[in-house]
Amino acid sequence: MLTSVQECACKALDTRNPSRHLVIIASAEDAKQVRGIVGSSIPPDSRCVGHSWVLPSGERISIFPFSEKPIRGAFDLCICNGGRELSTKEREEITKWEAAANG
C-alpha cells in the first residue's frame, strides 16, 4: 500500500507536462520517499544531478525539501506533505516556492 506521499509523487509523475520542469517539494523526511518513487519510475538512462533528474528526453524533475531556497526559472510545482497539517514555518516556506513557481 502506498503512503499519501508516495501517491502524491506518483500522481505528479503521471500528470506532469513533459515540456515543463517539474519540482516536487516535501518535508525533509518525506522528500526521501519522493526521491525513491521518482528514481524507480523514470527511464534507467536518466541521470541524477544534485536534487534533479534529467531524463533522456531532456525533461527535468527535481525534489526539494520545503526548507530549501526556491530555485529560479519557470517550473510546475507539486507539494507532497502526506496529508498532515503543516506548521507555520512550512506554510511560509511553501508560499516562497509558490511565488517562485509563479515567477
What is the predicted pLDDT for the residue at 24?
96
Q: Is the separation of the CB atoms in 87 and 47 below 8 Å?
A: no
What is the predicted pLDDT for the residue at 61?
96
How is 25-44 classified by DSSP, letter by letter? EE-HHHHHHHHHHHHHHS-T
What is the predicted pLDDT for the residue at 3?
66
What is the predicted pLDDT for the residue at 1?
43
- Listed by start position, the domains of the chain span 4-101
Q: Which helix (H) or strand (E) element contains residue 3?
A: none
The DSSP code for 20 is: S
pTM, full prediction = 0.92
Q: How far is CA 11 from the centre of its chain?
A: 11
**Pairing state of beta strands 52-54 and 47-49?**
antiparallel
pLDDT profile of the chain (103 residues), mean per 10: 77 92 94 91 93 95 96 93 90 96 84
Q: Is the separation of the CB atoms in 94 and 27 below 8 Å?
A: no
